[in-house]
Amino acid sequence: MTLQSAQNQGAGRPSDSSKALYGGTQSRRITVHDITAAKERGEKWPMLTAYDAMTASVFDEAGIPVILVGDSMGNCHLGYDTTVPVTMDEMTLLSAAVVRGTRRALVVGDLPFGSYQEGPVQALRNATRLVKEAGVGAVKLEGGERSLEQTRLIVESGIPVVSHLGLTPQSVNTMGYRVQGRGDEAAHRLLRDAKAAQDAGAFAVVLELVPAEVAAEVTRSLHIPTIGIGAGAETDAQVLVWTDMAGLTGGKVPRFTKQYADLRRSLGDAARSFAEDVAGGAFPAEEHTFH
């Protein structure tokens, strides 16, 4: 229990559950202000990726309050090996689909590799494109201090920003896929990055693949929410790649994933049943046939 929720309970002042991000009753679209208020209430909340309207509508109807159009679409949806090749055209197309599939969720779009590293002006141009052409409510970019000017200009221009720290997969070619923030110096650097992002105006930070103790320290030190992935149980929110948690991803998934369904097996079973029915003449039957 967080200090905040303990105080709420201790004061006999139950938090207003109608406002909850998950399980709340409001039907309007969730805003950045709702996210900020959730940290003040000590509410923990879930976030999932989505890359198409149909999947996004399932999560929206399930009450997932924040949906990330991750550049993980690169490996999960588009068949690349990493997120590095993902383009602004791809991000814009799939982000627009996710926005169309949702009514309530706040949709966050990743700025892909190469779309903001040149500087703040490039970053603002591409963030603006995701807002205007796809309709996202916020953008996410990787890096704390190294993306500070970008974060500041995008936020000043009226677009909410999520900062992504720890393992930043767009830098796979320099950092690999290793736990970040181990050891005192790396932990301090992570905390500095998180505070820099907060000071630059980010409304949340993703902490990917960092020791739970470090993520907990960052979570206590910030007034904006932390969103963990492989960062332990103390972050304000948890995000997972949807194909990992649903058991659809082919091959190896990160150890931090929990698998809540077995879609790869059930979809494969469906495809094999269909194939057998066609081969054996059982499909189409009379009820599928017009005369």
Active-site positions read 208
User: Which of 192, 181, 184 has its CA nearest to residue 222?
Assistant: 192
User: Which of 225, 190, 193 has its CA nearest to residue 209?
Assistant: 190
Q: Which residue has the tokens 């807002």?
A: 131
Task: Name residue 227's beta-bridge partners.
Answer: 206, 237
The runs of H, that is alpha helices, within the chain are 3-10, 32-41, 53-61, 73-76, 88-100, 120-129, 148-156, 172-175, 184-200, 212-221, 242-245, 263-280
Q: According to the annotation, is 142 in a ligand binding site?
A: yes
Q: Which residue has the tokens 């979570």?
A: 219
CB-CB contact of 60 with 81 (8 Å):
no
The runs of H, that is alpha helices, within 101-234 are 120-129, 148-156, 172-175, 184-200, 212-221
Closest distance of CB 59 from ligand MHF, Å? 16
Q: According to the annotation, is 44 in a ligand binding site?
A: no
CA distance 116 to 113: 7
Q: According to the annotation, is 213 in a ligand binding site?
A: no
166 touching Mg ion, by CB under 5 A: no
Closer to ligand KIV by Cβ: residue 70 or 101: 70
Closer to ligand KIV by Cβ: residue 8 or 198: 198
What residues make contact with ligand MHF under the rule CB under 6 A?
72, 75-76, 83, 167, 169, 177-179, 209, 241, 243-244, 249, 253-255
CB-CB contact of 20 with 65 (8 Å):
no
Closest distance of CB 110 from ligand KIV, Å? 5
Q: According to the annotation, is 140 in a ligand binding site?
A: yes
Closest distance of CB 251 from Mg ion, Å? 18
Closer to ligand MHF by Cβ: residue 138 or 209: 209
Closest distance of CB 240 from ligand MHF, Å? 7
Q: According to the annotation, is 19 in a ligand binding site?
A: no
Closer to Mg ion by Cβ: residue 20 or 202: 202
Amino acid at 67: I
Q: Determine phi and psi for 169, rounding to 5 degrees.
A: -60, -20
Contact set for Mg ion, span 245-284 (CB under 5 A):
none
244 touching Mg ion, by CB under 5 A: no
70 touching Mg ion, by CB under 5 A: yes
C-alpha pair distances (Å), 154 with each of 44, 162, 223: 27, 11, 20
Stretch that binds Mg ion, among 74-82, 103-111, 184-192, 279-287 (CB under 5 A): 103-111
What residues make contact with ligand KIV under the rule CB under 6 A?
49, 68, 70-72, 110, 164, 206, 208, 229, 239, 241
Closest distance of CB 87 from ligand MHF, Å? 16
152 binds, options ligand MHF, Mg ion, ligand KIV, none, Cβ within 5 to 8 A by partner type: none
Q: What tokens does 102 get?
A: 């949702």
Closer to ligand KIV by Cβ: residue 186 or 253: 253
**Binding site residue list:** 71-72, 110, 140, 142
**Binding site residue list for Mg(2+):** 71, 110, 142
Tell me which residues touch Mg ion (CB under 5 A): 70-71, 110
